[in-house]
Chains A and B, each alone.
Chain A
Amino acid sequence: MKDDEPQLIERYTPNERSNHWITAICFILLALSGLAMFHPSMTFLYAVLGGGQWTRILHPFIGVIMFVSFLILALRFWHHNYLDRDDIQWMKQMGDVINNREDKLPEIGRYNAGQKLLFFAMVVCLVLLLLSGIVIWRRYFSLYFPIEIIRLSALVHAIAAFVLICGIIVHIYAALWVKGSIGAMTRGYVTWGWARKHHPRWFRESIK
C-alpha cells in the first residue's frame, strides 16, 4: 500500500456512468428547450434545438429517451435509496450539513438523506412529466384526450418540470460543493478519504 497516493474505491461502474450521463445530457437539452416555452424571457433558448418548430419536434422525443434512461438508472439505484432512522436525524441537522460539519452527523451509507429524497422526487417528477407530456404531445396523442385533461396536463408538466429543474440545480451544486464527487461520476472512483468522510458506512462495507 503506497501512502503518498490516495487509495481509490469504485463508486460508479462505466455502465452506471454512461447511464447517468445520457440522462443528464437529455435533461440539459430538455430543461433549456422547455424553459424557452416556459416563459417569454427565456425564448432565446429556442436556438438550442434550432428554433421553435425544431424545439417542438425534438423536445418530446428527447423526453422519451430521458425517461427510459432514467428508468434504468432508477432501477439500478433504487435499493440504495431506502430511508432509515439515521436519515431523519440527518435532516434534523440541516445546519451541520450546510456548514460542512459532517463529523456531527450520523454515519451515512452509500447515499445521504438529501440524495435519497432527491432520488424519489426525481422519480415522481419523471413519471408526471412522461404522463402529462404524452397528453400534450399534439402530433400523436392529444387527439385521444378531452380538452380538460390536456389543460391539466400542461399545468402538471410545467409544475413537475419546475420541481425537477430546482432539484437538479441542487444536485449539480452539491456535486460542485462536495469536492471529489464529480470524479465519481466522470472517472468512476473516489478516494478512501472522500468515502470515509462523506459516506463512512459505505466506506467500511466497500473495504471489507
Chain B
Amino acid sequence: MAWQSLDVKRLSATTSEPPGVREPATGTVAKLIDVSRCIGCKACQTACMEWNDLRDEIGVNTGVYDNPHDLTEHSWTVMRFTEYENSQGNLEWLIRKDGCMHCEDPGCLKACPSPGAIVQYTNGIVDFHQENCIGCGNCITGCPFNIPRMSSERRVYKCTLCSDRVAVGQEPACVKTCPTGAIVFGTKEDMKQHAAERIVDLKERGFENAGLYDPPGVGGTHVMYVLHHADRPSLYAGLPQDPHISPVVRLWKGVAKPIGLAIMALTALAGFFHYTRVGPNEVTAEDEAAARDEVRRMRGEPPEERSDERR
C-alpha cells in the first residue's frame, strides 16, 4: 500500500529514521479477536478473499474443519479448529482465527535485508511492500508466529490488517463481516478495555483463566486475542506461550552486523596504513644477484662476473 496514506514508523533494512512527525493522536490501532465468541463460520476468511481479491486453490478434505489447511500467499487468514477435552471431561471447540499478529517489535522487519520491503506504520500495522521484496524469506526466519508465506513469483505475503481500508477510516474486512462480533477493531486502548469487560464476563461464567493475549515478548501485538484459557495459549492450535524474536535472529540482525562491518573496514584500513608506514616488501637487484650466486654454487659453476666489469 502507498506510504503517504499512513505514516511510517519503521522501514526494513534502513538505518536512518523515516519521516515521523505525524503520530496518531489516539494511539495505535488493534484488532481484538474474542475466541470465546467465534462460531467458526469462516466469513472472515471470505471477506479477506473478497476485499484483497485472493482466490486460493481448492484443496482436499483431510478430516478436519481447517480449510484451507494452512496460511498461504492466497490465504492471509485461516480458522484453526482444536477439539479440547477439559478437566470435567467436556469437549471445548477452540477456534482461533490465525494470521499476522502485527507485532510492535516485528521479527520479520528486523530480519528483512531489503530497504522498505517491510514497513511498520505509526498506527502499528506491519505491512509488506512486495515491489521491494527480494524473495529471500528472511522474514519467515524472523517471524515468531510462522505467518509470512512465499509465492511462486518469490514475494512474501501476509495479512495487511487492511491497511488500505484503515487508511481511509474503515475497519478491516474481517471485522466488518464477522456476524457474532467476535472480531472488533479500534484503538489499542479501547480494545484493551473491551477485552477487560469480556474477561470479567468469561470469569463469571467459570473460565477463571480467561485473559487477554497481548504478548509482551514482542512488545505487544496489534492483533490480540481474548482466550478462555489464557494460561495455556498453546491449546489454541499452538499459539506460542511466550513469543519473542529468537535470540539467534537478534544476534544475526543486531550487534553482530555493525561490529562485523566495522572490523572489515578496519582490516582494509590497517592494510592501507601498513603500506604507507612500513611500505612494500620489494626484491632488490642485490637479492637477484644473491640468488644467481647461490644457484651457481649449487650447480658448481664459476661465480658471476659483474655486468659492469664486462662493459
Contact = CB atoms under 8 A, between A and B. Distances in A.
A binds B: yes
A161 to B, nearest CB: 9
A40 B115 contact: yes
Interface string A142-163: 1000011011101100110010
Nearest to A158: B252
A133 B305 CA distance: 60
Nearest to B263: A166
A170 B271 contact: yes
Contacts of B280: 176-179
Task: Tell me what chain B mostly uses at the interface: helix, strand, loop, or mixed.
Answer: helix
A14 interface: no
Interface residues of B, number: 57
A148 B146 CA distance: 12
Given A138-B137, A165-B264, A192-B291, A197 B283 contact: yes
A40 B13 contact: yes
A39 B301 CA distance: 61
B115 to A, nearest CB: 5
Given A40-B115, A151-B246, A100 B134 contact: no
CB-CB nearest 6 A-B residue pairs: A52-B134, A193-B288, A173-B271, A138-B137, A192-B291, A193-B287
Interface of B: 13-15, 111, 113-115, 132-138, 140-141, 146, 150, 154, 246, 248-249, 251-252, 256-258, 260-261, 263-264, 267-268, 271, 274-275, 278-285, 287-292, 294-295, 298, 301, 304-305, 307
Interface of A: 1, 3-4, 6-7, 36-43, 46, 51-53, 55-57, 98-100, 102, 136, 138-139, 142, 147-148, 150-152, 154-155, 158-159, 162, 165-166, 169-170, 173, 176-180, 191-198, 203-204, 207-208
